[in-house]
Structure 1
Amino acid sequence: MTTSGPLLVTSAANVQLKELKRLAQDSTAYRKQSRIWLEGDHLCRAAVERGVQPELMVFCESAWSQTGHAWSGHGGKQLIVSDALWPGLSALESPARMGFVIAMPAQPVLQKDKPTVVLDGLQDPGNVGSILRSAAAFGFQQVIALKGTAALWSAKVLRAGMGAHFGLQLHEGMLAADVGVLDIPLIATSSHHGEFLHEARLPTPCAWLLGHEGQGVSAALAALATHSVRIAQPGGEESLNVASAAAICMHASATFKSSGA
């Protein structure tokens, strides 16, 4: 690519376009390429606001002519993809008309005393992204994703996270033993066991242990828990969606702390 201006891609055989498609459509390709695909104006702006600079800015042709000038000062090379080819690039049901490629951030050092959320084998990217969004909103600073959890930097998790990724310390591919080094209370969530959340005196800071959508917290992780809580469900449903339960638990932690209880 020359430095004189953006490159226009009009052929599906373009090598750079093929690499972008793999990055956008393969949920774990970012681990191989050490690059991340951010799709959509909102995600790109969230990254820039946190000081992230794109390596590459990608626009569909019509979007470039309308809004490309607004992004000219953010660094990175520019690639324009013809409108005819753009739908084949995105893996999302409602493709956005622009995206960034950014460098994969280095995995941070695990902080033993920081408010933490542990994801134990959660597989739905929408749930994972929603939980990251709640974690950022309620002051949980780091997220530990155990092996088997949906890829944190995949396009669908990023879309559901709505920019929360850039305000969190994210740890992927961890083991239950890694959680055991935390120096804060570990609270396991359960549908049927433990103290009711609204009656509990919640420790602060703490780590919330959130399990697989169907199987719950694994036995290995549950064995590390210092507390176990459940959410009262007077309506009689068997269980809550894990993202909904996570939001309720993290909100309870935040409000319990702020109340000075």
Structure 2
Amino acid sequence: MNAPVQPVTSKDNPALVRLRKLAADPGAYRKLGRVWVEGDHLLRAARQRGWRLDLVVATEAAMQDPALAALVAAAERALVVPAALFKGISGLESPAQIGAELLLPEMPALDVTAASVVLDRLQDAGNVGAILRSAAAFGVRQVLALKGTAGLWSPKVLRAGQGAHFGLRLIEGLAVADLQSLQTPLVATSSHTEHQVHRVALPRPCAWVMGHEGQGVSAELMSRCALTVGIPQPGGEESLNVAAAAAICLYESHRQQA
């Protein structure tokens, strides 16, 4: 594909105005039905999963790099801008020189039998993205985000996910009651349990519940869990970061199935 390439020098270009909003507002993707992904790694990850690059924006310097120019050529449409204009869009201290606007996918239907991760009001975008990355790494393809969780398609979550988004079933805005149809048992971590994650037979498959960074899993959701497990912490820390805990739990599920 040879994308139509348009040089742009005005910050008032309508596409750039829209992209600045997508990059700056974590919830803008819901209103605009589009997402902003920055950096060649994310663009390649999207393409490898069959996503279409609807609009690519690249700096003039990026066009001199054959690998980045190839991503521009793969787009439906491309804008080439001065570095200063790209910096005005970028959410990074060191802009990546290339980014893309993608259509926000339709939210899939809940797969009631799939191994899943449930995110209960997680606030930190870095934690959310890291958990998506771990889910993808350990073969858990469905992530269910309850209301109050950081936007799954926000720029910071996308960056932290490192391309995991493009291979996952992502469903957000759920209430606890929406989980009633799940046929997979809910499993949560707790410091008040006799079961240690590496010593108990985990349900196969299951839905791991990861709670709010400060408040943990809500009482309503915890009451629906079929099992709670603890993660040994011989170093004596009070608790683990939720993304670290998720990685351990997902690994243990994978290990028991191997």
Residue type of the partner of 1:53?
A: R
Find out whether 1:176 has 2:189 as its counterpart: no
Measure, in 2, the Cα distance between the counterparts of 1:72 and 1:12.
Answer: 20
Aligned to 2:226: 226
Deviation at 1:230, TM superposition (A): 1.1
Residue type of the partner of 1:161?
A: G
Aligned length: 256
Q: Note the alpha carbon deviations across 1:123-148, whole angstroms, 9 max, x for none.
A: 10100000000001111110000000
- Residue 143 of structure 2: SS of its match in structure 1? strand
Q: Note the alpha carbon deviations across 1:46-67, whole angstroms, 9 max, x for none.
A: 0000000111011012112323
8 Å CA contact 2:131–2:246 kept in 1: the answer is: yes
Aligned to 1:255: 255
Measure, in 2, the Cα distance between the counterparts of 1:239 and 1:135.
Answer: 21
Aligned to 2:71: 71
8 Å CA contact 2:3–2:77 kept in 1: the answer is: no
Residue type of the partner of 1:252?
A: E
- Residue 166 of structure 2: SS of its match in structure 1? helix
**1:207-226 correspondence to structure 2 within 5 Å:** 207-226=207-226
**1:35-46 correspondence to structure 2 within 5 Å:** 35-46=34-45
8 Å CA contact 1:127–1:243 kept in 2: the answer is: yes
Measure, in 1, the Cα distance between the counterparts of 2:94 and 2:71.
Answer: 22
Measure, in 1, the Cα distance between the counterparts of 2:96 and 2:3.
Answer: 26
8 Å CA contact 1:92–1:156 kept in 2: the answer is: no
The alpha-carbon distance between structure 1 residues 72 and 100, as it changes in their structure 2 partners (threshold 3 A), is closer
Aligned to 1:143: 143
- Residue 224 of structure 1: SS of its match in structure 2? coil
- Residue 85 of structure 1: SS of its match in structure 2? helix
Measure, in 1, the Cα distance between the counterparts of 2:163 and 2:121.
Answer: 22
Find out whether 1:110 has 2:110 as its counterpart: yes
Measure, in 2, the Cα distance between the counterparts of 1:214 and 1:79.
Answer: 43
Residue type of the partner of 2:15?
A: Q
- Residue 114 of structure 2: SS of its match in structure 1? coil
Measure, in 2, the Cα distance between the counterparts of 1:14 and 1:93.
Answer: 23
Q: Note the alpha carbon deviations across 1:15-72, whole angstroms, 9 max, x for none.
A: 2211110011111111111011111000000000000011101101211232353125
Q: Percent identity?
A: 54
Measure, in 1, the Cα distance between the counterparts of 2:103 and 2:45.
Answer: 15
Find out whether 1:189 has 2:159 as its counterpart: no
Deviation at 1:94, TM superposition (A): 3.2
Let me know the Cα RMSD of the aligned residues.
1.5
Find out whether 1:131 has 2:131 as its counterpart: yes
Using structure 2 for the length normalisation, give the TM-score: 0.95
Unaligned runs of 5+ in 2: none
Using structure 1 for the length normalisation, give the TM-score: 0.94
Q: Note the alpha carbon deviations across 1:189-227, whole angstroms, 9 max, x for none.
A: 123435111211111100000000010001111111000
Deviation at 1:12, TM superposition (A): 2.1
8 Å CA contact 1:126–1:157 kept in 2: the answer is: yes
Aligned to 1:60: 59
Measure, in 1, the Cα distance between the counterparts of 2:61 and 2:40.
Answer: 14
The runs of at least 4 aligned residues of structure 1 exceeding 4 Å deviation read: none
Measure, in 2, the Cα distance between the counterparts of 1:5 and 1:184.
Answer: 47
Aligned to 1:21: 20
Unaligned runs of 5+ in 1: none
8 Å CA contact 1:141–1:168 kept in 2: the answer is: yes
Measure, in 1, the Cα distance between the counterparts of 2:180 and 2:232.
Answer: 28
